[in-house]
Structure 1
Amino acid sequence: MGLFSARRKSKPAHGAGSAQEASDRTKPSPRTSEIPAALRLPEILQRTFDFIDEYTLHHTVLLVCHQWFWANQHRIVRKVNWFEASKTKRLDKVISRLPRATHLVLCSAGNDDSGTIKLIQALSDNSTRQLQEQEQGLHGVLGQDAYIQPTTPTTHHGLIRKTRPLQISRILRDLDLTGSRDLLFDLLPYLGSLTRLRVQLSARESLYVDAVFSSCPNLVSLRLESIWGFYLQGSEGSSSTMLCSLRSFIVENAIISEPSLDHLLTVSPRLKDLQLRNLRYDSTLATPQVQHWSWVMKKLTALEISLTSVHFSVYGQPMAEEEVYEKIIVVAPRSQEWVLRSFDLTPALTHCLMQIPNRVTSLELVASGDAESAFSDELHQYLCASPHLLYLKAPHSVCLIESMDIHGRWTDPSTTTTVGTAAHPPGIWACRNLRTLHIRVHDISPDSIEERSGRSRILFGYISRVLPRLEDLVLLDHDVRQSRMSLDLQSGFCLLARLSGLENLRVGQIEKKMTFRAADLRWIIPSGHINGGRIERGYVYKTWDKLLAQEAERSAMVSMNPRKQRQLTKDVELWKSLEHLGLLLDVKVMVDEMETNKEAFAGGMRKLRDLAIYRNLLSRPTPPEKEYLRLANDNFELRREVWRDDVGGLAAVAAFVIS
């Protein structure tokens, strides 16, 4: 019982009903339907599992039968996080989970603190255990399932385990490391099973990529980055013919010599994704450095490397239009994944992109360097014409509220030069199936509290209606010193409850003290939809009568412009759902829906696993319940609701036992 208990389990009845239940348990279960012949083929079954999302895999697929359980062991993700600032007592818990971990997130400034030393030793012991198990034939090199096709029909008509399957998934495959080069080199001897490695260096250092390839022979994806820049070195002029399995190579803010990149491309014939982001230059080096796309293009052609995704940019220098055309049309004409910089998305480039079939499913806009143009509306215009887009990561690109205010309720077109005019009118994004959205929000905090609430309702209402399939949502402030999104109930933060598939939600990028009422946030967790949570929203709800009346008067005076009337004929259902966008009435309708459709909203946001509200970007993922408690420590009213629910829950249990 308590804050996070949505309902109390009822006590089973005894007597005549129990006899009937016992009789029901003895009845044979109905015969299951015949399994399609296609799913009897291991290859088709494995391919089908590749398209299933992680949540469905963990909560549904693994529970179907033993065959499906063992067939997906190598897809199970067991994530372990360790941050140097974490409490020491948590380290023992991390180490105990390490032998079964498949993904490790490690953030440490150095390699000499006691916690990091202890963790390195645990990785060493884990690596030794894995090597011993491999020698005994318990699983393959990559921890993949060891299955054989049966020669005679079996009850599972599928795949049979060769050996002890409990060992299949106990292997580290992914590592996200934030720290020094020395820490990486201390870890490398114990990372032989890695298939994906991401390193963010905390200082301007030199990194030898050959050492990484030698220690991680099965590496498929490698990403290296640094805020301050770093030197990426390889075996210049090496005659080694050892090829690696690398398929994705991403570097950011790196200083790379031409011989080093030449060697890396030579030993990576399977490379499909090459991204050289914001390359730096050091005038003190005598060796020629990679600074021109023409040199990279020449090497790719000579080595006959066929890429599906490519990016090349130099820090602070805008891309030439002919280079963009060559990378998109010539090198990767069928690419569905594009990576650009914020200020490279110019009107000319957008026009160029519109000339080819728009089949892009993934778009990432990385940091622009020192020539950033924060207020371009080209991203909005492109999204209005990209129906196939599934993933958008643009944490350095600014999204204007004016572009979302399709009714012009909280923005003044005469005060903006980029949107709201005849050339750039507000519009609706065409990417209805978008799964990932990372953007930066501009001008959400004007002086007027009423206007700030209205603009926040525009943001949350637009996203929840236009992008109903979102799974990963990150909303950052444009100016961390002044901007702050309004997250109270009146500002419509609860409109995000429409996103039933949301798994990750982050608002803000730095630690900020904010004042909340229980009604503002409690709808996220299960207890927000029992009596206490509904009563809290009811108290706030009753104070809106005057505001709603004033809002209705203003709305009645606004006439619909001809352009909006033409658009209404294109997507009537969507426009109808956006009828109250920006109004307090939209929040009222949402609260009423929570009250009437209790079954749909019971349990809060059921799929939400990670929640961060104005926390540091480097902070570890936190379940919604724990994040709510963290916010409660800074807000007396939230603490009071936590205490009241816990005491009330204990009283209910005591009354139930006495009766």
Structure 2
Amino acid sequence: MVPLRELEIGGEVDYDRRVAPLLSFLSSLTLLHIHLTDQFDMRLDSLFEALPLLERLDLRNIETINVSATISTTSGQGQGQGQGQEFSVRILPRLRSLVLEHSRVHQLELEGFLTRTPRIQELKLIDLLSKSPTFYRKEPFHYDASRLLGHLQVLALPLQILYVSIFDTKIPDELQVEFDKLVAPWTRNLTVQELLPSRIRLMDQLQNTITTLDLYGSKLCWKNDVLHQYLCTSPHLLHPRAPDTIYLVNRLDLHRQLESTRSSFPANT
């Protein structure tokens, strides 16, 4: 029997009852995607204990993922403490990719976790939540983007993709520039909010070697032609993805079969 290497779970699934009990039987997994609609809790120590070969972990939720990022040792003894949480010396050398969307995780735990991922190449922290929109009584977390930046600078991880955003909080432009410097040129993912016309014009002035373009947004509509023109004039672009972006159907009508396309947009535009 060929061992299962990749697993994707999505929809209205009860994580505690339907997913968590299965993990101990899936120790061969190298990729795990969990995209659920209901809030759930995730203990990373239990997850990596059950899945020791895991290389890529992608956790997304419409509401909230309450993440405990403390990694315990096999002996149960750790080094150092912070906010009542114990950190350990366990290393996760296999982990290459970590994606968390709509998650609540204590920043000190998150930073402690990242010190145990020396080979991570992709890190996406999308819309970190300070409080749960469902359980208002839970104590809100505070995220310090400047401190997280400094922590990543010290770790000097081999990042090729890095994205950090905090829900309802804009990270200052000067910090975004410093985050950009932590990865190889043109491997950083941008949200639709960040992909402003001025930034696209800057990209157009430089040599265009982008092969993958990921856009993250929430029901945002491109009403101008800036993005369309960029997509049409990117000779190396192979993998554009914009799963949550509203894009005019006429701009997908490449062969101009729709009357609305022919009447609204001149030929060769």
Of residues 118, 122, 126, the one that matches 1:277 is 126
Is this contact kept in 1: 2:92–2:118, CA < 8 A? yes
Q: How far apart are residue 321 of structure 1 and its match?
A: 3.5
Q: CA deviation at 1:405?
A: 7.9
**Is the alpha carbon distance of 1:398 and 1:288 closer, same or farther for their aligned partners in structure 2, counting shifts above 3 Å?**
closer
Q: Distance in 1 between matches of 2:36 and 2:250?
A: 38
- Higher normalized helix content (fraction of residues): 1
Q: In the TM superposition, what are the counterparts of 1:382-421 in structure 2 within 5 Å? A: 382-400=230-248
Counterpart-to-counterpart distance in 1, 2:130 and 2:149: 19
Report the Cα distance in structure 1 between the residues aligned to 2:55 and 2:182, rounded to whole angstroms. Answer: 21
CA distance in 1, matches of 2:221, 2:261: 24
Which consecutive unaligned segments of at least 5 residues does structure 1 have? 1-98, 100-169, 411-451, 459-560, 565-574, 579-659
- 2:9 maps to 1:177: yes
Structure 1 residue 254: Cα displacement: 0.7
TM-score (norm 1): 0.34
Give 2:197's aligned residue: 347
Provide the residue aligned with 1:333 in structure 2: 184
Query: Whole-Å Cα distance in 1 between the matches of residues 197 and 166 of structure 2?
Result: 20
Tell me, yes or no, if the aligned pair for 2:58 and 2:99 is still in contact at 8 Å. Answer: yes
| Separation of aligned partners in 1, 2:252 and 2:47 | 46
Output the amino acid matched with 1:350.
I
Equivalent residue, structure 1, for 2:161: 309
Deviation at 1:355, TM superposition (A): 4.8
Corresponding residue SS for 2:86: coil
Q: Name the counterpart of 2:78.
A: none
CA–CA distance in 2 between the matches of 1:270 and 1:197? 18
Q: Identity percentage over the alignment?
A: 27
Q: Larger % of strand: which?
A: 2
CA contact (8 A) 1:321 1:349 kept: no
Q: CA shift at 1:319, angstroms?
A: 5.2
Q: Is the 8 A contact 2:221 2:246 kept in 1?
A: no
2:30/2:56 contact within 8 Å kept: yes
Find the residue that maps to 1:325 and give its secondary structure.
helix
Query: How many angstroms does 1:284 deviate by?
Result: 5.0
Shift of 1:286: 4.9
- 1:208 and 2:43 are equivalent in the alignment: yes
Shift of 1:249: 0.5
CA-to-aligned-CA distance 1:291-312 (integer Å, 9 cap, x gap) = 3432221111111212101111
Q: How many residues align?
A: 247
- In structure 1, the residue corresponding to 2:244 is in which secondary structure? strand
SS of match in other structure, 1:395: coil
Separation (CA, whole Å) in 1 of partners of 2:184 and 2:149:
14
Choose the corresponding residue for 1:252, options 101, 112, 121: 101
Contact kept, 8 Å, 2:211 with 2:236, in 1: the verdict is yes
**Structure 1 Cα separation of the partners of residues 55 and 31 of structure 2:** 6
TM-score (norm 2): 0.78
Aligned-residue RMSD, C-alpha: 3.2
- Structure showing greater radius of gyration is 1
Map of 2:80 onto structure 1 = none
Identify if the C-alpha distance between structure 1 residues 384 and 325 changes in structure 2 by more than 3 Å, giving closer, same or farther: farther
Distance 1:253 1:378, change over 3 A: farther
The answer to whether the 8 A contact 2:62-2:102 is kept is yes
Structure 2 residues without counterparts, runs of 5 or longer: 71-84
Alignment of 1:568-647 (within 5 A): none
8 Å Cα contact 2:130-2:141 kept in structure 1: no
Alpha carbons 1:200, 1:226 under 8 Å: kept? yes
Relative distance call for 1:243 and 1:338 in structure 2 (3 A) is: closer
